[in-house]
Amino acid sequence: MGSLFRSEEMALCQLFLQSEAAYACVSELGELGLVQFRDLNPDVNAFQRKFVNEVRRCDEMERKLRYLEKEIKKDGIPMLDTGESPEAPQPREMIDLEATFEKLENELREVNQNAEALKRNFLELTELKHILRKTQVFFDESVPTVYKSSGAYSSSKYRRYPQMADNQNEDEQAQLLGEEGVRASQPGQNLKLGFVAGVILRERLPAFERMLWRACRGNVFLRQAMIETPLEDPTNGDQVHKSVFIIFFQGDQLKTRVKKICEGFRATLYPCPEAPADRREMAMGVMTRIEDLNTVLGQTQDHRHRVLVAAAKNLKNWFVKVRKIKAIYHTLNLFNLDVTQKCLIAECWVPLLDFETIQLALRRGTERSGSSVPPILNRMQTFENPPTYNRTNKFTKAFQALIDAYGVASYREMNPAPYTIITFPFLFAVMFGDLGHGAIMALFGLWMIRKEKGLAAQKTDNEIWNIFFGGRYIIFLMGVFSMYTGLIYNDIFSKSLNIFGSHWHMSYNKSTVMENKFLQLSPKVDYEGAPYPFGMDPIWQVAGANKIIFHNAYKMKISIIFGVIHMIFGVVMSWHNHTYFRNRISLIYEFIPQLIFLLLLFFYMVLLMFIKWIKFAATNEKPYSEACAPSILITFIDMVLFNTPKPPPDHCETYMFFGQHFIQVLFVLVAVGCIPVMLLAKPLLIMQARKQANEEVQPIAGATSDAETGGVSNGGSHGGGGGHEEEEELSEIFIHQSIHTIEYVLGSVSHTASYLRLWALSLAHAQLAEVLWTMVLSIGLKQEGPVGGIVLTCVFAFWAILTVGILVLMEGLSAFLHTLRLHWVEFQSKFYKGQGYAFQPFSFDAIIENGAAAAEE
């Protein structure tokens, strides 16, 4: 198996497949997922390819399956997901599948149509039922009043219907109806009041009423009653509220007008007999019909349910099958047909290590299809850049993703991912160092890792969760390293552990302690002589007055130490790249001066820090006492600028060791001398080599000199096009090189400073944790008595929420981003080009996963 340190070696292969065997072979390769096919007919329209028809049929099948899925989801039937992936069916099975789906779809559609018709019928009947029931009340109360009005002849009674009569035309109304009343009172002459009854959506009712009033000039009489139970709309299954209305009017003209308005407002009118006996009879009929309908409807639903349950068992399986067939035909469309039409020709990228596996798969495919001619897999020569393929597992995948997010590595370039597995969580932990917060994070990561299978099986669309779950190993490692750095910082929720016993002891007597508010322990007297064995001495955590001063000095130094080492590590990486690509010219004239520059200036500074730690002590005599300790930063600035250092205090020395001044001058001169080497040596050598090549009589294209390959492979030659790359212009090489050099030299300074973010974030984290402790939790801890217990519980909950929400989540996120930057910019800029393109093998697993994800959106 290939290692993660470099991407796999790839080969471009030509694949000859017999037409009959092609389908089976491609299906086998899809199961394997190790081959990336190239499109051999890029200029052919998607509709003119060979297997368009099949692809279209698959699309159609997929559509039908989606329809089925929608219906199944509507009914809330659970779909069986065994998680297994059936093999791609034979092409002839496609017809069977199509027939099955067709039958299912038609059946379902028919059932749905019937159900809809039945429901509509049902709705009409229920509405009619309601009309009959409600209007009964109207008739009961309004008919007698009409008769009564004939006798009473008074207008007062019409005031009962204020919607009909406002004060102005009340009298007119009274007269109008009164006349009718008079006529009606005469025997044999009925009151000729017509009426219509119907049902309307409740929200349309006010507008409807107003319209009626205006259009009929108040000459109609409307009564309405709500239907309490919502009714189901058969077209979309929504629940709607409706009202029953009945309109009384006089004359045909008004009748047509009223009917028009009803039509306009989509009110459904129902015939309603005038005689009470007829109405009763009708109501009876309606009730029986509703009952009949209910039974039929129930049977229809049962049938639909049965069909869907049967389909739900196989649905996922069918989806997989159809997607596989589609993927195969899609791939076959990329192939070329050979002249005899007997053979399909494919071109593909293949990892060299898997050559055998692929051939085996091809053989299996041929056997399955029953073809006698074996497929031929031929390696081809190419000048194209192969794709980058890093074989990852579940552990390394997330780290590789971090790297790929910056840029996919150039082919066979050093892959930073394996080193990132440790350096990333470590640098994160330097900023996040807290035993308690680290433990929370590590436990969360560990829980996700332990429940990995269960959590992976329940796929969710929750993007944040998916990010966390994908990075579970990173989270776990970040947590574990944070616990370690937290132990070293001796910081757990902003408090310290005193495991080994502090190595500082007080020698003050009582009166001194009583008199002074602050007392500083003396490093000469109160210090044991050997430091606390593991991590920070706990005394510093309680040294409220100068804890930060001490911590700053310490954390700034470690930031620079780790930063410089990290950068040197990056430069050494470039040595691996240069030797691998046999790029001697870059190795000598780029790598060596770069390394010297970094070592002589910045690593020297790191060494000075160690010297200062070891040589200067409070217990020492001058010139190595604490008062004489020089500032490293000032020393470094003086060194680079050739300044004369300030005169030291009495009996101290300017320099830390003998010959320091000479060494510093030498170092700076050599480091500065490296710059022109980086800048000019490579372009000049390339220029010289080209001149020589021109002078030689036979210009053989293949025999490029060392210098040229170096120049060409270094200078933006990763266009990815075919054939030989053109030689770069000399001026371009110069410009490129000068940019590179300037970037490196200025970068060394700014990147070193950039690592100070390790200090800044770690300081911020520690301070925030402390603020949270003193401002929140200690309030709860100071309470006394039983009430204090309750207060403490509440305060603790608040503190815990803030700890997890702000310190672990938000601070964790910010530290994560800063770590990412340190890796992408400060580390990878030293060696990583990242100009490759990713290997995307034809794999059923990936296709089905993507298909499922796309369908759920």
Partner 1 sequence: MEVILMIMFFTSFWVAVGKFGPILVTKGPHDDLVRCIFLLTAVVCWLFWLCCYLAQLNPLLGPKLNGHTIRIIAKSWGNPIKDG
Interface of this chain with partner 1, residues 500 to 539, rule: CB under 8 A: 501-502, 504-511, 513-514, 516-523, 526-527, 529-537, 539
Q: Which is nearer to partner 1, 355 or 734 (CB)?
A: 355
Interface pick for partner 1 out of 239, 393, 644, 731 (rule CB under 8 A): 393
- Count the Cβ atoms, other than its own, within 10 Å of residue 336: 14
In this chain, which of 16, 213, 468, 484 binds partner 1, going by CB under 8 A? Answer: 484
DSSP assignment of 130-144 equals: HHHHHHHHHHHHHHH
Half-sphere exposure of 407 (CA within 13 A, CB side): 16
Regarding 357 and contact with partner 1 (CB under 8 A), the answer is: no
Alpha-carbon distance 554 to 484, whole Å?
17
Q: Which is nearer to partner 1, 72 or 492 (CB)?
A: 492
CA distance 26 to 33: 10
Q: Do the Cβ atoms of 642 and 665 come closer than 8 Å? A: yes
**In contact, 727 and 686? CB cutoff 8 Å:** no
**Identity of the residue, 252 or 515, whose beta carbon is nearer to partner 1 in the bound complex:** 515
Residue 597 to residue 591: CA distance in whole angstroms: 10
72-131 residues in contact with partner 1 (CB under 8 A) are none
Stretch that binds partner 1, among 276-284, 319-327, 343-351, 481-489 (CB under 8 A): 481-489
Of positions 580, 610, 642, 662, contacts partner 1 by CB under 8 A: 610
**521 vs 764 by CB, closer to partner 1:** 521
Query: Quick count: other Cβ atoms within 10 Å of Cβ 354?
Result: 20
- Residues 562 to 591 in contact with partner 1, rule: CB under 8 A: 562, 565
Beta carbon of residue 561, minimum distance to partner 1 (angstroms, whole number): 6
Minimal distance, residue 58 CB to partner 1, in Å: 37
Please report the sign of the dihedral spanned by the C-alpha atoms of residue 783, residue 788, residue 791, residue 796.
positive
Cα–Cα–Cα angle for 555, 558, 562, nearest 5°? 140
Q: Which of residues 415-454 bind partner 1 (CB under 8 A)?
A: 418-419, 421-423, 426, 430
Nearest-approach distance from CB 672 to partner 1, in angstroms: 29
Number of residues that bind partner 1 (CB under 8 A): 77
Q: Report the SS3 class of residue 410.
A: coil
- Quickly tell me which residue has 């410009």 as its tokens: 735
Closest contact distance (angstroms) between CB of 507 and partner 1 is: 7
Out of 136, 314, 498, 713, name the contact with partner 1 by CB under 8 A.
498
Nearer to partner 1 by Cβ, of 242 and 472: the residue is: 472
Q: Please, what is the minimum distance in Å from the beta carbon of residue 546 to partner 1?
A: 4
| Residues 519 and 508: beta-carbon distance below 8 Å | yes
Closest separation between CB of residue 9 and partner 1, Å?
A: 16
Stretch that binds partner 1, among 299-307, 484-492, 641-649, 736-744 (CB under 8 A): 484-492
CA dihedral 635, 636, 640, 646 (to 10 degrees): -20
Q: Which is nearer to partner 1, 530 or 697 (CB)?
A: 530
Residues 544-563 that bind partner 1 (CB under 8 A): 544-547, 549-550, 553-554, 557-558, 561-562
Beta carbon of residue 361, minimum distance to partner 1 (angstroms, whole number): 20
Q: Does position 396 bind partner 1 by CB under 8 A?
A: yes
Q: In the complex with partner 1, which residue's Cβ is closer, 506 or 800?
A: 506
Minimal distance in Å, beta carbon 748 to partner 1?
Answer: 21
Of the candidate residues 123, 543, 685, 847, the single one contacting partner 1 (CB under 8 A): 543
Tokens representing 325 are: 């067939």
3-state SS of 692-709 is: HHHHCCCCCCCCCCHHHH
DSSP state letter for 628: G
Peptide bond into 623 cis (omega under 30): yes
Exactly one of 146, 269, 297, 488 binds partner 1 (CB under 8 A); that residue is: 488
Give 371 or 541: the residue with its C-beta nearer to partner 1. Answer: 541
Which residue from 321, 318, 376 is spatially nearest to 347, judged by alpha carbons? 376
Query: Cα-atom radius of gyration of the chain, to the nearest Å?
Result: 43
Q: Which of 836, 832, 839 is nearest to 419 (CA)?
A: 832
Q: What 3-state DSSP class applies to 706?
A: helix
Do 23 and 93 touch, CB atoms closer than 8 A?
A: no
Whichever of 309 and 618 has its CB closer to partner 1, that residue is 618
Binding positions for partner 1, 797-816, rule CB under 8 A: none
Question: Between the CA of residue 460 and those of 455, 464, 623, 853, what are the distances in Å?
Answer: 9, 10, 67, 10
Give least dist CB 410 to partner 1, A: 21
Work out whether 633 is an interface residue with partner 1 (CB under 8 A): no
Least Cβ distance, residue 744 to partner 1 (angstroms): 25
Q: Toward partner 1, which CB reaches closer, 542 or 735?
A: 542
Inter-CA distances, 206 with 265, 527, 718, Å: 11, 91, 73
Instruction: Give the helix/strand (H/E) hosting 199.
Output: strand 193-201
* Contact positions with partner 1 (CB under 8 A) in 231-270: none
